[in-house]
Amino acid sequence: MKAPTALLIACVVIGCGPILILPGGELTGTLTPYPNNWTFSDPVDTVQLETRSDDPYSVNVWGVGIGEHFYIAAGDASNAWVLRIAEDPDVRLKIGDSIFELRAVRTDREAEIDAFLAAVQKKYDFEPEPDQRSEATVFRLEPRVTTQ
């Protein structure tokens, strides 16, 4: 067995984060407070999203920071991570070594989606087709509300 194949199998078995398009398990890193502004994420193309803390499932996604919020989207509402968010909106986002504990809130607000799409186009030089826009599931990531 070649070394890269063995490494990939080992990571899947022990629950590493996602690798390319393969999902992973629990993300590791430094728990970081919610930032006032997400511009530090601008140079980072791919971030990692973890859903369901009771059965961690993580994926690589594109994301953009717009002011005080971070946004992610799925082109297919039947993606496993989208379905998991529907069950439990508490997520963890990894950027670099930082882990942010967040809540994913689906948005249908036209102005918010327009701002998200403009930011995606600027960051990734990607403009979705009209049908992709209507089928996209866009999430605004917010701080988790904790009750004391």
CB 80 within 8 A of CB 55: no
Mean pLDDT of the 77-90 span:
94
pLDDT at 148: 52
pLDDT at 129: 77
Q: Is a pLDDT exceeding 90 seen at residue 102?
A: yes
Binning pLDDT at 50, 70 and 90, where does residue 8 land? Answer: very low
What does the alpha-carbon distance between residue 64 and residue 72 come to, in Å, rounded to a whole number?
A: 7
pLDDT at 145: 80
Interior angle at CA 44, CA 89 and CA 68, nearest 5: 50
Q: How far is CA 79 from CA 20, 31, 131, in A?
A: 16, 26, 17
Partnered with residue 106 across adjacent β-strands are 139
Closest CA to 84 of 56, 112, 62, 123: 56
| Residue 89: φ, ψ to 5° | -75, -5
| Residue 46: φ, ψ to 5° | -115, 130
Of 64-73, 110-119, 125-134, the range with the lowest mean pLDDT is 125-134
pLDDT tens-digit series, residues 31-54: 999 999 999 999 999 999 999 888
Question: Would you report the helix, strand and coil content of the chain in percent, each value rounded to 5?
Answer: 30, 35, 35
